[in-house]
Amino acid sequence: IMSISKGIALITGSAQGIGRGIALRLAKDGFDIALNDVPSKSDQLRAVAEDINKLDRKAHIIHADVTVEEQVKGMVQDVTHHFGGLDVMVANAGIAQELVPLISTELDVWERVMAVNARGAFLCYRYAAAQMIKQGRGGRLIAASSVAGKMGHPLNSAYTASKFAVRGLTQTAALELGRYGITVNSYAPGVIQTPMSGALMTYRCLARFYDTSDSKTIAKRPVKHNGQPEDIAAIVSYLASKEAQFITGKLSTYILSAQGIGRAISLRLAKDGFDAALNDVNPRLLMSIFKGVALVTGSAQGIGHAIALRLARDGFDVALNDLASKSAQLHNVAKDIGSIGRKTCLAVADVSDEEQVRGMVQHVANELGGLDVMVANAGIEQNICLMTSDLWEKVMAVNARGPFLCYKHAATQMIKQGRGGRLIAASSVAGKTGTPLISAYCASKFAVRGLTQTAALELARYDITANSYAPGLIRTAMGTSNAALAALASTNSELVELMKNSLNSAIKREGQPEEVAGIVSYLASKEAQFVTGQCLNLKVFMGLQQRAHDARLQANA
């Protein structure tokens, strides 16, 4: 795929830790290296550059913040001007978060982690790919995910969501860029001995959970040592090589020591009274009341409208949310719920605004006497013909930050009530496998899955389950129009076919909003008391949902 055996590699976050290890390894492999980090790490970058020069390879230092589009664009241009091109982009820069429960995670922490870890990878992919396409000799895009990007980790909601987002972005980019001879992959380290992981270990909250002295834990490790940056660098070395030319859209996981550490944290969580797995949940009903109050965001139309009506028919009083511009539609839905004989209230709010979400939950609790089911359904698409940095921010704000804020403030209310509850969010089939042309949407829906898994682990002790649903193509006002696809097909027919195929299902018809509502009905019910941390596909789950519905009818007969 790359017409040259070696070339130019750019590694972000390369002043220390894994980034430094990758830079040195690729230099040993024969690449000239562009080193990136923030200006505060200039001395460290110079030291890495000197080490690269000793290997008889060229090194060039570029200071840039990967969250700032103009700086990333300039960084790629600088590398190209200095070395004459770019063949490997390693979007390694990333930050961790202090380990705190989801309900205590501040919005500015969420924003900063998502900006560096997810938006940074998006911008690096975007501008590196544009340069590689211009060169016409293929290339490699490689980004840092994490084992936390494959499975929820308690106390780590923002980080987990950001690393799930990297997976979605990577799968989407792989589908779009393969035609240009560009492969796209990510790597998923566990806990590696670096300054960043060392800083995490100093937090008292982690010290409470971290225990590698347990003999059973040590015995379960496949390899009896902690991971080193060089271990990850070896994976990147392979992904950057000609031998990896047919590997794309994959996540290479380094679990040799992470598996043992993960088990150690799990054991410590259990010892300290935290539920580290579904098996730790006591066998009793998670909601102490059969029906209660449900809040459905984005409920003025489409899937949200159908969910609100279905939950009302199931016996819930329903709070309806959407933007102020859709007030008239919300009033119509409220009338329909009133005709079913259930109470309702309107809670106009923008789910991407924390103060509005906090106020929304308080308003619902005051009006209807509490909150038992939160359905974070509100979401937006992206324009398939255009992808910009601003559009990335807008999609991530509504589709990922929105569920985070809904989970956070709904869970706080449910814990206060002491009667358990249900958190349910909208993911997508595009949140389980990459889909070309909608990179931001895919990343946001992957993030919802990571957030949901983390919430499930943290909140089980309060009898709160957290799940998401993953529709395919559903006949709604938001669904991608055939006209938009037809317009794009004139210039990108191959990508349009890929998109259609990736969203296709075994059931050869478009789904209806009522079918998605059926899944949410099940997840909100007592029958789903042992289902948590899951993302349910519409086409796979239909039979199980119908059996649960039939069982409820028989029980009430």
- Helix %, strand %, coil % for the chain, to 5? 55, 15, 35
Instruction: Count the neighbouring beta carbons within 10 Å of the beta carbon of residue 205.
Output: 13
In whole angstroms, how far apart are CA 28 and each of 22, 34, 56, 233?
10, 14, 9, 11
Q: Can you spell out the DSSP letters for 415-457?
A: HHHTS-EEEEEE--GGGTS--TT-HHHHHHHHHHHHHHHHHHH
Burial 441-456 (b: 16+ CB within 10 A, else e): bbbbbbbbbbbbbbbb
Concerning whether 441 is annotated as a catalytic residue, the answer is: no
Identified catalytic residue from 125, 127, 159, 187: 159
- Residue 58's nearest CA partner among 102, 23, 101, 27 is 27
Decide if 237 contacts 279 (C-beta within 8 A).
no
Catalytic residue among 41, 125, 127, 163: 163
CA–CA gap between residue 64 and residue 75 (Å, rounded): 7
348: exposed, middle or buried (Cβ count in 10 Å: 0-12, 13-18, 19+): middle
Nearest to 373 by CA among 429, 334, 417: 417
Which of 516, 519, 437, 524 lies closest to 473, judged by CA?
516
Let me know if 407 is a catalytic residue: no
Three-class secondary structure of residue 8 per DSSP: strand
d(CA 449, CA 422): 15
- Active site positions, annotated: 159, 163
